[in-house]
């Protein structure tokens, strides 16, 4: 796994995740946007992730910068995401973003929610 690691990072983004995020920003002509990453109550295990491009930063947001991509985490989600790794895989068996989160004690069968 190709990580850009700094011990003080909230979210660690792999090179492949950063590359894909830059491609998506370019395709959507969203140069001024950033990736908002957070958690919300819901799903069969208690919480689910949310990720989307946004342009409005809020008070208390934390920002991580990776080669032209900013990843922003709101203050309520930081404790749930601290130390997580955002990766992007492209292959026959698995394609898409994945989050490896050391704070998760269990996940549901669908893989979309956690506690």
Q: Which residues touch 36 (CB under 8 Å, ≥6 apart)?
A: 50, 51, 52, 53, 54, 72, 73, 74
Number of domains in the chain: 1
Could you tell me if 38 and 49 are in contact, meaning their C-beta atoms sit under 8 angstroms apart? Answer: yes
- For residue 5, the model assigns a pLDDT of 45
Q: Is residue 21 part of a domain?
A: yes
> What's the domain range around 86?
11-106
Sign for the CA dihedral angle at 76, 34, 53, 19 comes to: negative
Mean pLDDT of the chain: 84
pLDDT in tens, 25-48: 988 887 789 999 999 887 666 788
The Cα–Cα gap between 57 and 75 comes to 11
Q: Is the pLDDT of residue 84 over 90?
A: yes
Q: What is the mean pLDDT of residues 81-86?
A: 94
Q: For residue 1, is it within any domain?
A: no
**Cβ contact 62:73 at 8 Å:** yes
Question: What predicted TM-score, i.e. pTM, was given to this entire model?
Answer: 0.80
What CATH number is attached to the domain comprising 44? 2.60.300.12
- Quick check: is 16 in a domain? yes
Q: Answer whether residue 6 is part of any domain.
A: no
């Amino acid at each position: 796994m190709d990580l850009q690691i700094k011990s003080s990072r909230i979210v660690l983004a792999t090179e492949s995740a950063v590359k894909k995020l830059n491609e998506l920003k370019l395709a959507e002509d969203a140069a001024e946007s950033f990736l908002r990453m957070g958690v919300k109550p819901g799903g069969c295990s208690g919480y689910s992730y949310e990720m989307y491009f946004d342009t409005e930063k809020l008070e208390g947001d934390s920002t991580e910068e990776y080669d032209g991509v900013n990843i922003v985490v709101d203050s309520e989600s930081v404790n749930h995401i601290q130390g997580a790794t955002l990766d992007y895989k492209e292959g026959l068996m698995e394609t898409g973003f994945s989050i490896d989160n050391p704070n998760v004690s269990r996940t549901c069968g669908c893989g979309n929610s956690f506690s």
